[in-house]
A = this chain, B = another copy of it.
Amino acid sequence: MNKLTGFVDLTSNEISVLREATAFPRRFDARQDLIREGDTPGPVFVVLDGWVCRYKILPAGTRQIMAFLLPGDACDLHMGMFPEMDHSIQALTPARVAVIPQADMHRMMEKHRGIARAMYMAQLVDEATLRAWIVSMGRRSSVERIAHLVCELYLRAHGSGLVTGSEFALPLSQIILADTLGMTPVHINRVLKELRLAGAMKLARGSLTIIDPIRLVQIAGFDENYLHRRLGQPVIATAESGHD
């Protein structure tokens, strides 16, 4: 739960309420769907452990991943207002996910305004991340795209307490990266090689090593602003931002 407290200060009471609400998580295998396109949206999901993604399969059979959910991330709490899911959600690794009924969540948010604030804040950040992805897909080259995604995931993993040094577990195959960034696995492979040869980063066997953080941030043109993390010591250096 240190993810939510990353945005908003919660009282110890609120924290224990949250802990209680997520006390009995459900386990999912890698590649198991939490919910599928067309299903009736139900409870709010909160990821406690593992990596999860939102994705959509197109008629042609291709897949596009639209978001990653890391431990501490929650799925849209209002999704229940929709009659039907317009995309699917799947575990990428074995995962523990708290499944909180709509009604419970609403009651909790009514009673504990700090939790409500934290949830709204989290949703805002999710939305900002969607916009950042659109920017990447529209206006960044393939090298920049990969570098940018890695910067984002590094910071987010760090915020979820998954990172200690400059190396961290990134359980994303090149196929998953391709489906995320709108490229082919073959091309992902070549670009990863390029980044490796440039001495910026290395992805091997599910583990990512950031060799030259400054270089990587420069390549990505990364500006962490959109993640709206609360000020603290910078985790990695940041390229000058591009305000016009």
Residues of A within 8 A of B (CB): 36-38, 54, 56-60, 62-64, 66-67, 76, 78-79, 81-84, 86-88, 117, 120-121, 123-124, 126-128, 130-135, 137-140, 179-182, 221, 225-226, 228, 239-244
Contacts and interface: CB of A to CB of B under 8 A. Distances in A.
A221 B58 contact: yes
30 contacts: A38-B243, A54-B131, A57-B242, A58-B135, A58-B139, A59-B221, A59-B239, A59-B240, A59-B242, A64-B134, A64-B138, A64-B139, A66-B134, A66-B135, A78-B123, A78-B124, A79-B124, A81-B117, A81-B124, A82-B128, A83-B228, A86-B131, A86-B225, A86-B226, A87-B131, A88-B244, A127-B130, A130-B134, A134-B134, A138-B181
Contact of A121 (B57, B81, B134): B81
Contacts of A56: 131, 135
Contact of A82 (B76, B124, B126, B182): B124
Contacts of A134: 64, 66, 130, 133-134, 137
Contacts of A88: 244
Contacts of A244: 36-37, 57, 88
Contacts of A133: 134
A76 B127 contact: yes
Contacts of A60: 139, 221
A66 B226 CA distance: 14
A83 B81 CA distance: 29
A228 to B, nearest CB: 6
Nearest to A230: B83
Nearest to A55: B135
A241 to B, nearest CB: 8
Contacts of A57: 242-244
